[in-house]
Amino acid sequence: MNSRHSNHKIKRVLVLTSNQVGVVDFCRILLEYEDVQIYAAEEAYNFLKTARVDLNSICKFTGLPCSLDATMEILQLDILEALLLNKEKHKHQKHINDKKRKLIDLLIVNFEDHFEIEAGKISAISVAAANSSRVAVAMDEADYDRILTDMSKTDGAVTENSRKFLAIKSLKTAAEHIKQAASFLVG
């Protein structure tokens, strides 16, 4: 079997949500799978912690102090590498081993309803979508359902078809967010 077309189990999840609809239940179900770890940035971390979801701050993942705002936390090299590195590529595997990098397999992200450009989230979506052979991106409850359906049928993995579908959807959503922000700026 060609490894490019394989299913990848979800082990590490990064939550960057503003809209919390369905996120608590989704995260709780993800944690029922073996060895799943959830990390979240600022707002999502506080919301999920209050809802008693077992998770870690994004700062624990990067090893940096939590004094940065959410955008700066997301744009840390450790986060972008964790989304982009692919252990099926020889050069990436060497870097992962040499630097002892942990990888993120699922990005849960959505945008605020205001018109500020959320650069950290857009960057994370772009990087994760570029690596859709390994990383899944979830933006809403329909995505959560699709991922959970896959995971229930594949022992905790998300299928290649779903990862590709979700990558395209997330890129289109990010592009629309940028377009709306540009229209707001133009007036």
Both tokens of 9, joined, read 């189990």
CATH class of the 8-186 domain in this structure: alpha beta
pLDDT of residue 93: 66
Whole-angstrom distance, CA of residue 24 vs CA of residue 78: 25
Sorted by sequence, the CB contacts under 8 Å of residue 145 that are 6+ apart come out as none
Q: What is the residue extent of each domain of the chain?
A: 8-186
pLDDT of residue 7: 74
What pLDDT, on a 0 to 100 scale, did the predictor assign at position 5?
45
- The predicted structure's pLDDT at residue 29: 98
- CA 162 from centre of chain: 14
Candidates 66, 9, 8, 6; CA nearest to 39 is 66
Report pLDDT for 96. Answer: 63
Tens digit of pLDDT for each residue in 16-74? 987 888 999 999 999 999 999 999 988 899 999 999 999 999 988 888 777 666 667 77
Separation between Cα atoms, residue 55 and residue 122, nearest integer Å: 23
Q: Whole-angstrom Cα distance, residue 138 to residue 109? A: 6
Phi and psi angles of residue 154, each rounded to the nearest 5 degrees, phi first? -130, 25
